[in-house]
Structure 1
Amino acid sequence: MIDVKTAVNAAYEYIKSIQHMINSSLRDLRLEEVELSEDKSFWLITLGFDIPKKPPKSRLEDLMGTSLASTPVLYEREYKLFKVNSQSGEVEAMKIRQL
C-alpha cells in the first residue's frame, strides 16, 4: 500500500497536469483533507485553490459593453476530491467537493 505522501503527490501532479483543461491557474493550491477509505482501497484527497470570481455588472455596463470602474479581482475557493488507488497510486477519479 502507498503511503499518504505518495497519494497526496499523485493528486497534486494530476491536477497540475490538467489545469489548462479546468481553466484555472491553481492560485493558492493547498491540501485540505486526507482520508483512507474504510476498506483501505483508496486515499481520498481534497485539494483547494482560488479561482477568480466575476464581479456583477451594472445595467449601464451591460448596455455600454464596457466596465465603468476597475474592480479588484475577487477570488472564491474551489475544492476537488481525488480518489487515489492505495495499491497502484493512480488517480481513479476527480470530483467537485461541496462543503
Structure 2
Amino acid sequence: MIDVRAAVKIAFQLFQELYDTRRFEDVLLEAVELSQDRTTWQVTIGFYRRMPSVNLVESIGSKKYVRTYKTFHIDAATGDMIAMRQGNGEE
C-alpha cells in the first residue's frame, strides 16, 4: 500500500502532466483522505485560474481569478489513478 506522501506526489505529478500549470496560481494541497475501505486515496489540489473577460473594458487592468479544485482518486495498492473529479474544496 502506498502511503500518504506517495499519493500526494502522484496526484501532483498527474496534475502537472494533464494541465498547463503555468496558467495557475497558488497551487496547493487542500485535502487528503484515505477511503473507509482503505482502497483509495482522495487527494484534492486547489489553485486559482484566470477567468476570461466578457468584454474589453472589463479586461483592462483586471485579473479575475476563481479558486478551482481537482480531486484525484488514487488506488492505494498500486498508485494508479482511478478518477479525477472537479472538487468543491470541502472534500
Q: Which residue of 2 aligns with 1:87?
A: 77
Whether contact under 8 Å (2:24, 2:50) holds in the other structure is: no
Contiguous gaps of at least 5 residues in structure 2: none
CA distance in 2, matches of 1:68, 1:96: 31
> What letter corresponds to residue 42 of structure 2 in structure 1?
L
Contiguous gaps of at least 5 residues in structure 1: 58-66
1:43 matches 2:62:
no
**SS, match of residue 9 in structure 1:** helix
Q: What is the CA RMSD across the aligned residues, in angstroms?
A: 1.9
Residues 1:78 and 1:24: Cα distance change in structure 2 (over 3 Å): farther
Residues 1:40 and 1:68: Cα distance change in structure 2 (over 3 Å): closer
TM-score, normalising length from structure 2? Answer: 0.85
CA distance in 2, matches of 1:7, 1:68: 44
CA distance in 2, matches of 1:54, 1:26: 13
Please report how far the alpha carbon of residue 78 of structure 1 lies from its aligned counterpart in structure 2 after TM superposition.
0.3
**SS, match of residue 45 in structure 1:** strand
**SS, match of residue 2 in structure 1:** coil
* Regions of 4+ moved over 4 Å: none
* 1:10-36 deviations in Å (ceiling 9; x for gaps): 00000100114xx87232110000000
CA distance in 1, matches of 2:24, 2:2: 26
Please report how far the alpha carbon of residue 90 of structure 1 lies from its aligned counterpart in structure 2 after TM superposition.
1.2
**SS, match of residue 77 in structure 1:** strand
1:32 matches 2:22:
no
TM-score, normalising length from structure 1? Answer: 0.79
Whether contact under 8 Å (1:33, 1:46) holds in the other structure is: yes
